[in-house]
Amino acid sequence: MQTYKVFKLGMALLLSLTLMACASSDTDDMGDASESMDTSSDSSTSNGGSSATSSGAGDNGGLTASQVRERDNALGMTVFYFEFDRSDLSAEARAALVHHANHLKDNPSTSYRLEGHADERGTREYNLALGERRAQAVERYLQVQGVASRQLETISYGEENPVATGTTEAAYARNRRVELH
């Protein structure tokens, strides 16, 4: 993603390499997420003894083919949408986030960047706050599922980074979202 090029450039000049490595480890998109899931299953099996709580959830062996499919579909879902002026998670979002939570718990070195967005109606700085509230709703849900705080960061873009242009309700609905990165 383009943002990371700029990010790395700026950070390399300004901050230490440690910070950069930490912050740029979360570039999972749909494909990467399911891939890293598979590899992580391997690694958790090989050192499973070190983490008693995570051995069951991340192990493909304990899941049926349809359960694996359901899990991979859920992990492929990385954008969650919201009603106007609202930050409630839909039932579908909550179901998918349970799988994301398991993925994070099984992979303690993985972290998510939760990017909150708003539609363009209303003032920009207020919308920045609305975007943060949505990202925090996802963050809180993941934390309740047992994900460590250090694996999560929330960033709000407010209305500054729309996916859809235009002034239709359909465009607005696509822009009120939280993206997992």
Q: 181: buried, middle or exposed (CB in 10 Å: 19+, 13-18, 0-12)?
A: middle
Residue 79 CB: number of other CB atoms within 10 A? 14
* Nearest-10 crossing angle of helices 91-106, 65-76: 100
Count of residues near other proteins by CB under 8 A = 40
Which tokens is 71 given?
């899990």
Nearer to other proteins by Cβ, of 94 and 133: the residue is 133
Site string for other proteins, 127-166 (x = CB under 8 A): -xxx-xx--x----------------xxxxxx-xx-x-xx
Q: Is the CB of residue 100 less than 8 Å from the CB of residue 112?
A: yes
Q: Rule CB under 8 A: which of 18-37 touch other proteins? A: 23
Regarding 6 and contact with other proteins (CB under 8 A), the answer is yes
Q: How far is the CB of 26 from other proteins (least distance, A)?
A: 11
Regarding 122 and contact with other proteins (CB under 8 A), the answer is yes
Q: How far is the CB of 12 from other proteins (least distance, A)?
A: 10
Regarding 17 and contact with other proteins (CB under 8 A), the answer is no
Regarding 121 and contact with other proteins (CB under 8 A), the answer is yes
Nearer to other proteins by Cβ, of 63 and 128: the residue is 128
Q: Rule CB under 8 A: which of 101-120 touch other proteins? A: 120
Regarding 85 and contact with other proteins (CB under 8 A), the answer is yes
Nearer to other proteins by Cβ, of 69 and 121: the residue is 121
